[in-house]
C-alpha cells in the first residue's frame, strides 16, 4: 500500500473485471451510465462521490437532449424532416447537436458572444447552424437569445424547440441518473448540484426522494444569478449554473438549501477540483465540489454525499484555467474561505454564502 498524501493506493491493484457490456449500438446509447467516483475528501467515516456527468459523449445535457428529442419524435411533435432550434451557450447546445443531427434533423443553436471557441468548433463539426446575438437586451444575454429564437421559430414553421427551461422532459431525463445512483449506493444523505435550468438537481432529487424521503438537497448557484432571489448581474463570469431569469424547471419545493459562490471562489474551487481530485471540469463542478467538501467536514459520521459534475474543463482553458485571464478579470488571488456564511433567504450576497429556502427557514 502506498501513501500519497491523503490518498492510499494498493500497488498490487489490477483492473477489476466488471462483467457488464460496454458495447453501444449507436452514439445516442452511449449517453448516461456515467461513472460515480469516490473522492478523496471526507473524514469521520463520511464519503463523498462525484457523478461524472462530464464523461457523457459531450456533457450532462446529452441526457436532456436525448429524452426531449426522442419524446418529441415519439409523440409526433417533431416530424422526422423538421428542424430543431434551441438557445444555449454550452452543454445543451452540444447535446441537441449530437442527438438532433444524428437523427437527421437540421439543428439551429442560438447563442451569444460568450460561447468559447472549443464549443463552437464542436457544434460546427457536428454540422449545426449557429446564430450569435450581438448585444444584451432587457434580461441580459438570456432575453436577447430568446428574442432571436422567436424570430427563427417564425422563419421555420414546424420547428421543434426543446425549451430546456420549462420542458418537463428536462427534469425527467434525470430519473435514469437517480436510478444509476441508487444502483451504485444503497443510501444517499445529501445531493449537491449546480442549478441553471433546474432540470438536473430537481429531476434527480424528485426521483431519489421517492426512495430516500430524508434526502437533503443542496443547490449551488453563482453570486449575481437571479434564480434564488438575488439581484441579477449579467456580467458574472461563471457559466453553466446561474440565470438572469427564473426558469419554471427550478422547483424550490425539492430544494432545502442554496449556496452562492463569487466568480473568484468558483474559479478557485474548479482549480482545486483538478489539483486534488484529478477531475478537470468546468466551474459548476468546482462549486459543487467545494460545497460537498464543506458538508463532508461538518456532517455527522457515516454521511454519504453525492455531487453532480456536469461538464469537462476543455472549454475553459482560455478562462478559468488561464492565469492571464484571471489576472485581467482581477480574480488572481483565488480567495476561497473554508466555511460559507449563513444568511437569511433574500439577503443580497457577494461571496460564498448559504441560505435555507423560505419554507425551511426557522
Ligand X SMILES: Cc1ncc(COP(=O)(O)O)c(C=O)c1O
Smallest separation, CB 30 to ligand X (Å): 19
CA distances from 168 to 198, 200, 229, 241 (A): 11, 11, 23, 19
Binding mask 36-75 for ligand X (x = CB under 6 A): -------------------------x--------------
Site for ligand X in 76-95 (CB under 6 A): 90-92
Single out the residue of 120, 129, 138 nearest to residue 83, CA to CA. Answer: 129
CA distances from 146 to 150, 155, 245, 265, 324 (A): 6, 14, 11, 30, 32
**Contact by Cβ (8 Å): 54, 312:** yes
Identify the residue among 42, 100, 162, 194 touching ligand X (CB under 6 A): 194
Q: Angle of helix 91-102 relative to helix 62-75, nearest 10 degrees? A: 40
Neighbours of 35 (CB within 10 A): 13
CA 100 to chain centre: 20
Smallest separation, CB 247 to ligand X (Å): 8
Stretch that binds ligand X, among 12-20, 132-140, 195-203, 299-307 (CB under 6 A): 195-203
Identify the residue among 240, 252, 286, 313 touching ligand X (CB under 6 A): 240
Neighbours of 185 (CB within 10 A): 16
Identify the residue among 286, 310, 313, 340 touching ligand X (CB under 6 A): 310
**Residue nearest ligand X, Cβ-based:** 240
Residue 238 and residue 222: Cα distance in Å, rounded?
Answer: 7
236-272: burial string, b at 16+ Cβ within 10 Å, e else:
bbbbbbbbbbbbebbbbebbbbbbbbbbbbbbbbbbb
Nearer to ligand X, 46 or 91 (CB): 91
Smallest separation, CB 10 to ligand X (Å): 34
Neighbours of 214 (CB within 10 A): 8
Site for ligand X in 270-289 (CB under 6 A): 282, 284
**Does the footprint of ligand X cover residue 196 (CB under 6 A)?**
yes
Nearer to ligand X, 46 or 249 (CB): 249
Nearer to ligand X, 42 or 62 (CB): 62
Stretch that binds ligand X, among 95-103, 150-158, 188-196, 251-259 (CB under 6 A): 188-196
Residues near ligand X (CB under 6 A): 61, 90-92, 194-201, 240-241, 282, 284, 310-311
Amino acid at each position: 500500500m502506498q501513501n500519497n498524501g491523503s490518498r492510499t493506493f494498493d500497488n498490487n491493484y489490477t483492473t477489476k473485471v466488471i462483467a457488464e457490456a460496454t458495447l453501444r449500438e449507436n452514439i445516442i446509447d452511449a449517453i448516461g451510465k456515467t461513472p460515480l467516483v469516490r473522492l478523496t475528501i471526507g473524514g469521520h467515516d463520511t464519503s463523498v462521490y462525484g457523478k461524472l456527468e462530464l464523461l457523457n459523449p459531450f456533457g450532462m445535457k446529452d441526457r436532456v437532449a436525448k429524452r426531449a428529442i426522442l419524446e418529441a419524435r415519439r409523440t409526433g411533435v417533431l416530424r422526422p424532416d423538421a428542424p430543431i432550434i434551441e438557445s444555449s451557450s454550452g452543454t445543451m447546445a452540444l447535446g441537441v447537436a449530437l442527438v438532433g443531427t444524428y437523427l437527421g434533423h437540421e439543428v439551429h443553436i442560438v447563442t451569444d458572444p460568450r460561447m468559447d471557441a472549443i464549443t463552437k468548433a464542436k457544434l460546427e463539426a457536428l454540422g449545426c447552424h449557429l446564430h450569435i446575438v450581438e448585444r444584451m437586451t432587457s434580461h441580459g444575454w438570456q432575453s436577447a437569445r430568446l428574442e432571436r429564437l422567436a424570430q427563427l421559430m417564425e422563419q421555420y414553421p414546424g420547428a421543434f424547440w426543446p425549451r430546456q427551461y420549462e420542458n418537463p422532459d428536462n427534469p425527467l431525463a434525470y430519473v435514469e441518473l437517480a436510478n444509476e445512483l441508487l444502483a451504485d449506493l444503497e443510501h444517499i444523505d445529501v445531493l449537491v448540484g449546480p442549478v441553471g435550468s433546474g432540470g438536473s438537481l430537481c429531476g434527480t432529487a424528485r426521483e431519489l426522494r421517492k426512495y430516500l424521503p430524508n434526502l437533503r438537497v443542496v443547490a449551488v448557484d453563482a453570486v449575481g444569478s437571479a434564480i434564488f432571489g438575488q439581484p441579477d448581474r449579467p456580467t458574472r463570469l461563471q457559466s453553466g449554473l446561474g440565470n438572469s431569469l427564473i426558469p419554471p424547471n427550478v422547483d424550490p419545493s425539492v430544494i432545502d438549501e442554496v449556496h452562492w459562490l463569487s466568480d473568484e471562489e468558483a474559479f478557485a474551487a474548479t482549480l482545486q477540483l483538478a489539483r486534488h481530485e484529478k477531475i478537470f471540469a468546468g466551474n459548476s463542478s468546482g462549486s459543487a465540489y467545494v460545497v460537498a467538501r464543506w458538508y463532508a467536514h461538518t456532517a455527522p459520521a457515516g454521511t454519504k454525499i453525492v455531487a453532480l459534475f456536469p461538464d469537462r474543463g476543455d472549454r475553459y482553458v482560455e478562462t478559468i484555467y488561464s492565469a492571464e485571464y484571471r489576472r485581467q478579470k482581477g480574480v488572481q488571488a483565488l480567495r476561497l474561505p473554508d466555511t460559507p456564511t449563513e444568511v437569511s433567504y433574500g439577503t443580497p450576497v457577494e461571496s460564498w454564502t448559504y441560505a435555507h429556502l423560505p419554507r425551511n427557514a426557522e
